[in-house]
Amino acid sequence: MDDRGTPYLRITNLTKHFRVGRGGLLGRKRPVVRAVDDVSFSIARGETLAVVGESGCGKTTLGRLVLRLIEADSGRIEIAGTEIRGLDHRAMQEFRRRVQIVIQDPFGSLNPRMLIGQAIMEPLDIHSVGTAKARRARLAELLDLVGLPQEFAARFPHQLSGGQRQRVGIARALALETDLLICDEAVSALDVSVQAQIVNLLQKLKHERHLTYLFISHDMAIVRHIADHIAVMYLGEIVEIAPKAQLFAAPAHPYTQALLKSVPRARVQERPKLAIKGDIPSPIDPPSGCRFHTRCPHVMQICRSTPPPRTTVGPNHGANCHLLTPALPAAKGQSA
């Protein structure tokens, strides 16, 4: 379904289940969280793919799988044409230089006793890149790139604001020859005035350095601003994937439609629509058939038993919903 040339990142049938809790009596198996289930997508070089969805749908797990911070159960992860799941430790180190992550709370991830300069340089030290002099020059360049004053190199994390720490996280992620940047809620914890600064910085870096982004977020408005393509996840699965303009103009999946309607509009007396009822079900033993069927306003009989296949609804635009499959209405049973 993809006609965008050789992808920089290609994910095929990626699956990760977590066993949780204790095994039950009578030798019952431990419950399984289907955190990422048969997920496929690709991102062309220089593009931004945003992954959106509600809490617990598997966004963070997906990002960590791509970095191999956790190992997948099955599926393929190809970066620039190389399948990385089979790489040994040494070969993987090479890829780690090119794929980096920026997470939500840089405070938690920065060592409180390490100076900002040291923190930014740490990836270069780990990979023993360049002479001491070259590294100092690189540090100056990186601080500049993310818009931090040079003297911040000699500060500690607690002496920086949230937005400044987020810039440190980005500088650190770009210290090596990064091609692919995974941003996991990288701007979510920031105040809007600072959030806008970081969003613009990410946009600028993307153009200047031809970066490819996997941009994980729950904020549809930020995603609309930053993404080229969008994948919508629900309970471990991608339910719709489309170029940004198509997704916002003609969302095909009932969940995507609900998500868009729920976002407050910042217009006077215009209230977000009560698009769907009910809570997000547990990812442990998710609903049978279409996982969205417990909340879907269009649920039909077939939805409860049969997982909907991916249907192409436009160029590079696919969605998994029985309403979109060209089967006979009789086969779908009555609307419930």
Partner 1 sequence: MAVTPLLSVRGLGVSLGRAALIEGVDLDLMMGKTHGLVGESGSGKSVSAMAIMRLLEPRQFRVEAQRITFDGRDLSALGTTEMRRVRGAEISMIFQEPMTALNPVLPVGEQIVETLRVHQGLNRATARKRALEMLEWVRIPAADRRIDEYPHQLSGGMRQRVMIAIAIACQPKLLIADEPTTALDVTIQAQILELLHELQRELGMGILLITHDLGVVAGYADDVSVMYAGRIIETGTTSQIFEHALHPYTQGLLRSHPPVDRDVDELPTIPGTVPQPHERPNGCRFGPRCAHFRQICDQTDPRLMGFEHQHRAACIRPKGYLFDEPLEVSDG
Q: One-letter amino acid identity for 100?
A: Q
User: Which residues in 225-260 are b (16+ Cβ under 10 Å) and which e?
Assistant: ebbbbbbbbbbbbbbbbbbbebbeeebbbbbbbbbb
Nearest to 44 by CA among 13, 3, 77: 3
Class of residue 44 by CB neighbours under 10 A (exposed 0-12, middle 13-18, buried 19+)? middle
The yes or no reply on residue 55 touching ligand ATP (CB under 6 A) is yes
**Could you tell which of Mg ion, ligand ATP, partner 1, none binds residue 286, using a CB distance below 5 to 8 A set by kind?**
none
Q: Residue 244 or 253: which CB sits closer to ligand SF4?
A: 253
Stretch that binds ligand SF4, among 78-86, 166-174, 202-210, 289-297 (CB under 6 A): 289-297
Name the packing angle between helices 192-209 and 162-173 (round to 10°): 20
**Which residues ranging from 263 to 292 are in contact with ligand ATP (CB under 6 A)?**
283
**Could you tell which of partner 1, Mg ion, ligand ATP, none binds residue 58, using a CB distance below 5 to 8 A set by kind?**
ligand ATP
8 Å CB contact between 72 and 11: no
The yes or no reply on residue 167 touching ligand SF4 (CB under 6 A) is no
Residue 315, both tokens: 């160029």
Binding mask 229-258 for partner 1 (x = CB under 8 A): -------------------x---------x
Taking the CA of residue 16 as centre, how many other CA atoms within 13 Å lie in the half-sphere pointing to its CB?
Answer: 21
**Which residues ranging from 296 to 315 are in contact with ligand SF4 (CB under 6 A)?**
296, 298-300, 303, 308
Q: Residue 6 or 161: which CB sits closer to partner 1?
A: 161
Binding mask 154-183 for ligand ATP (x = CB under 6 A): ------------------------------
Query: Cβ 211 to partner 1, closest distance in Å?
Result: 18
Binding mask 273-312 for partner 1 (x = CB under 8 A): xxxxxxxx--------------------------------
Query: Cβ 322 to ligand SF4, closest distance in Å?
Result: 4
Cα separations (Å) of 203 from 165, 196, 197?
18, 11, 10
Q: Which of 10, 119, 290, 311 binds ligand SF4 (CB under 6 A)?
A: 290
**Sign of the torsion angle spanned by Cα atoms 118, 121, 125, 127:** positive
CA 286/CA 57 separation, integer angstroms: 11
Nearest to 189 by CA among 211, 222, 141, 212: 222
The yes or no reply on residue 60 touching Mg ion (CB under 5 A) is yes
